[in-house]
Chains A and B, each alone.
Chain A
Amino acid sequence: MSNIPSDLRYTKSHEWVRRQQNGTVEIGISDHAQSALGDLVFVEVPEAGRALRAGEACAVVESVKAASDVYSPVSGKVIAGNAALASQPELLNQDPYGAGWLFRVQTNSPLDEAALMSAADYAKYLADEAG
């Protein structure tokens, strides 16, 4: 059973969103996603200053067996990408909700709650997907 913190929101494409202060959000991929990908060997994050639209592919996570796009769940401007992942992609496997965060965004509109799931809904979504 994968770890699904209750204080985060989730997407169907397995990103998580953590609300921070002043309308900024932190984004990463879920424990389920990192586990499905396997050992990560390369992570590419967006550069600070880049404008993102919700649903836009903006990061790449590459493991020994697959490479996947990460989609921004929100619109806004990138404040920071997690530079530590360039040399230590394994941080994402070890701590997907902490040191393995991918990027932070200053949002320019309220979060689209309808597009995001609670931890309970995400757990149900994973169960259905596995079903």
Chain B
Amino acid sequence: MAFIPHTADDVAGMLDVIGAESIDDLFDEIPRDLRAAALDVPQAMGEMEVGRLLTERAASDGRPLNFIGAGAYEHHIPAPVWAITTRGEFYSAYTPYQAEASQGTLQLIYEYQSMICALTGMEVSNASLYDGASALAEACLMAVRANRAANSRRILLPRTVNPTYAQVAKSIAGNQGIVFETVDFDRSAGRTLLESLQPYTGQDVTALVVQQPNFFGNLEEADQLTDWAHQNKILMIAVVNPISLALLSAPGQWGSRIGGNPGADIVCGEGQPLGVPLAAGGPYFGFMATRMQYVRQMPGRIVGRTVDAEGRPGFSLTLQAREQHIRRSKATSNICTNQGLLVTAATLYMSLLGSEGLSRVAAASLQRTADLVARLSGIAGVKPAFTAPRFHEAVLLLDRPVAPVLAALTRRGIFGGLDLTDRYPELNHALLVCATETKLDADINAYAVALTDIMKPSRAAA
């Protein structure tokens, strides 16, 4: 089947049928003053000019040594991942779902779902969502549908959750009647304390969100927090880094499980670390998994394995009745799709690394960050902010404003981390740093040497 846009004749024919003069007439209902003015975009350019412009722009990026994490992580991506992902069979502007024509794509998504279930310790995964932040928003909406013991639509959102995720969850779910209660963190450990949840004990609360490792890179006491949530009939939403799950306990196993309490109820997160390169604005992908008990409340597409009329195995979309093309405004979500191409890359990445490879990436990243923190903390005016155990990120406190220090590092070709001043002003000159397996001893040394120089007392006044 050819996908050819309408010709001028097609358009004229259709306008004639509905009795409109022009396509613009179709927008008559929208008042003039609400329409966008002429867009301020440059004139069209030829291929040669565009090529030259982009080459110049790319050169201006340089080849910085990157120590920024904060939700998007630089990992080595084996060459076959994108060589296979960009093959014509997978490389499509739209994910094809027709079971009769798309068994390969559907099987790949099914394998992806199985891998996400294995990593998270959950029973069912969807085919992915837009990104980690919108996955959390969807998880909050899902929790309201799933937790029938709660009527409050109140969700506890610790400040140790990525502030961007919190913002997205608030703008998507906050306008649908969900109230977010902010939970503060312990200043010395850098994680959420059980005590800070006590005011909500016995209250009508829908869900508790826990990010593991948290935004500061610290490990939350997930078992305790999960037990508390379940004792209070509160659903547990886990936001996790998929790479970390190669070392940390799967959310499905969180908690003491006394009295049959299962682990987390909904697990979501950002899939970018699994084979997706860093890019401003993405595209990345979100993942989401849950227990079978809540499968009908989970948004998005799900691929299932089945048999055809002759008993042969095959794959098709399943549980379609929850979705917007059938349930319209009552669908589990009207703003989600899956990110087929990124899921393809992630599935290949996980397949190529295997569980042992993933564990090595996670262990190396943890070790690199430990090395980085040890080196940088030896510099006068630099110290670790928190005492909790970490994965592959850490907050450092400087004795002076962070922005000028980062600017000086950038001039030396080093992206030194994320300045937390705007997000956590009370931490006073806090810098979030990350080192994955991509950083060598020489890289960490280069950072330490540059920072030592920049932090010299003689420069402090400047």
Q: What A residues does B400 contact at CB under 8 A? A: none
Smallest CB gap from A61: residue in B: B321
A42-B296, A44-B296 known; A67+B148 contact, CB < 8 A: no
Q: Are A66 and B321 in touch, CB under 8 angstroms? A: yes
> What 1/0 flags go to B283-309 for Cβ under 8 Å of A?
000000000000010000000000000
Does B159 lie at the interface of the complex (its beta carbon under 8 Å from any beta carbon of A)? Answer: no
Count residues of B near A (Cβ-Cβ below 8 Å): 7
Q: Are A63 and B330 in touch, CB under 8 angstroms? A: no
Interface extent on A, as a size class? 10 to 19
A residues 44-84 with Cβ under 8 Å of B? 44, 47, 57, 62-63, 65-67, 69
User: Measured between alpha carbons, how far is A47 from B327 in the docked complex, in Å?
Assistant: 22
A42-B296, A44-B296, A47-B148 known; A62+B321 contact, CB < 8 A: yes
Question: B148, B322, B330: which contacts A69 (Cβ < 8 A)?
Answer: B330
If over half of A's interface residues share one DSSP class (helix, strand or loop), that class is named, otherwise mixed; here it is strand
Q: What B residues does A69 contact at CB under 8 A? A: 330
Q: Are B321 and A63 in touch, CB under 8 angstroms? A: yes
Q: Which of B148, B321, B322, B327 has the most CB of A within 10 A?
A: B321
B residues 300-358 with Cβ under 8 Å of A? 321-322, 326-327, 330
User: Measured between alpha carbons, how far is A67 from B296 in the docked complex, in Å?
Assistant: 11
Q: What A residues does B321 contact at CB under 8 A? A: 41-42, 62-63, 65-67
User: Measured between alpha carbons, how far is A66 from B296 in the docked complex, in Å?
Assistant: 14
Q: How far is the CB of B133 from chain A (nearest CB, A)?
A: 28
Q: How far is the CB of A58 from chain B (nearest CB, A)?
A: 11
B residues 131-147 with Cβ under 8 Å of A? none
User: Measured between alpha carbons, how far is A39 from B313 in the docked complex, in Å?
Assistant: 23
Q: What B residues does A66 contact at CB under 8 A? A: 321, 326
Smallest CB gap from B297: residue in A: A44
User: Measured between alpha carbons, how far is A42 from B321 in the docked complex, in Å?
Assistant: 10
User: Measured between alpha carbons, how far is A123 from B55 in the docked complex, in Å?
Assistant: 73
User: Measured between alpha carbons, how far is A95 from B251 in the docked complex, in Å?
Assistant: 42
A residues 20-47 with Cβ under 8 Å of B? 41-42, 44, 47
B residues 41-70 with Cβ under 8 Å of A? none
Q: Which of A42, A47, A67 has the most CB of B within 10 A?
A: A67
Smallest CB gap from A57: residue in B: B330
Q: What B residues does A47 contact at CB under 8 A? A: 148
Q: What A residues does B322 contact at CB under 8 A? A: 62, 67
Q: How far is the CB of A67 from chain B (nearest CB, A)?
A: 4
User: Measured between alpha carbons, how far is A62 from B332 in the docked complex, in Å?
Assistant: 13
User: Measured between alpha carbons, how far is A57 from B322 in the docked complex, in Å?
Assistant: 15
Smallest CB gap from A67: residue in B: B321
Q: How far is the CB of B322 from chain A (nearest CB, A)?
A: 7
Q: What B residues does A44 contact at CB under 8 A? A: 296
Q: What B residues does A41 contact at CB under 8 A? A: 321
Q: What A residues does B296 contact at CB under 8 A? A: 42, 44, 62
User: Measured between alpha carbons, how far is A57 from B329 in the docked complex, in Å?
Assistant: 13
Can you name 6 extra interface pairs (CB under 8 A) apart from A41-B321, A67-B330?
A42-B321, A44-B296, A47-B148, A65-B326, A67-B326, A67-B327
* 16 contacting pairs across A/B (C-beta < 8 A): A41-B321, A42-B321, A44-B296, A47-B148, A57-B330, A62-B296, A62-B321, A62-B322, A63-B321, A65-B321, A65-B326, A66-B321, A67-B321, A67-B326, A67-B327, A69-B330
Please give me the 10 A-B residue pairs with the lowest Cβ-Cβ distance, nearest first: A67-B321, A62-B321, A67-B327, A47-B148, A66-B326, A67-B326, A69-B330, A66-B321, A42-B296, A67-B322
